[in-house]
Structure 1
Amino acid sequence: MNAVSERLTPRWKERRGRLEIIEEVLFAAREGARKTEIVYKTNLNFTQLASYIRYLEEKGLLELSGPLFRTTSKGNEFLQDYQKMKEVLRTEEA
């Protein structure tokens, strides 16, 4: 299980930050996903998700393609860069 898929399991004791939620939404939409699927994978409600979708679409990280939301190439670059940043920070903490 990789770090991102581990992140998609609900964590009841720890609050997620905005960047973590953005990572989860983009990860859930990599192959294309309906809103309901993203809600289940990210443990957000529809109102919260709508806010993130608007923001990510405005930034060019997520797009609506028919009935599915898809992570754009820019969104995939963000995921890669964010993962590298987390690895660097994790290495420095060890």
Structure 2
Amino acid sequence: MARRTRLEVLSSILEICSGEGASKTRIVYQINLNFKNAGVYLKWLTDKGYLVKEGKMYKITPAGKEMLLGLKEICSILNIEEHMTEDKV
């Protein structure tokens, strides 16, 4: 498995939490993170207002939905540029 960028991890977490939300355990197993790293990302996302914690569930906020759209766009652009660079080599 290729190493993921922080942006890709943040995007994956927000994606999992959209819909009905997700527990920390579900997030850890679905995106293959350890609990310590997941905690750091979840704390940052909740502190910035992109996620809210309701009981044991993390749910995406309207600001989180905007962030997710932006992250998807950025990751898409970066992947296109990465492939263009690889083709030239």
TM-score, structure 2 normalization:
0.79
**Secondary structure at 1:51 match in 2:** helix
Give the Cα separation in 2 of the matches to 1:19 and 1:88: 12
Q: Which amino acid aligns with 2:6?
A: R
Flag structure 1 segments of 5+ consecutive residues without an equivalent.
Answer: 1-11
TM-align CA RMSD: 2.0
TM-score, structure 1 normalization:
0.75
Which one has a bigger Cα radius of gyration? 2
Q: Which has the higher contact order (CA 8 A, sep 6+)?
A: 2
Give the aligned partner of residue 7 of structure 2: 19
Give the Cα separation in 2 of the matches to 1:63 and 1:20: 20
Flag structure 2 segments of 5+ consecutive residues without an equivalent.
Answer: none
Task: Decide which of 28, 39, 48 is 1:39's aligned counterpart.
Answer: 28
Q: Which has the higher helix share?
A: 2
Q: Which amino acid aligns with 1:61?
A: Y
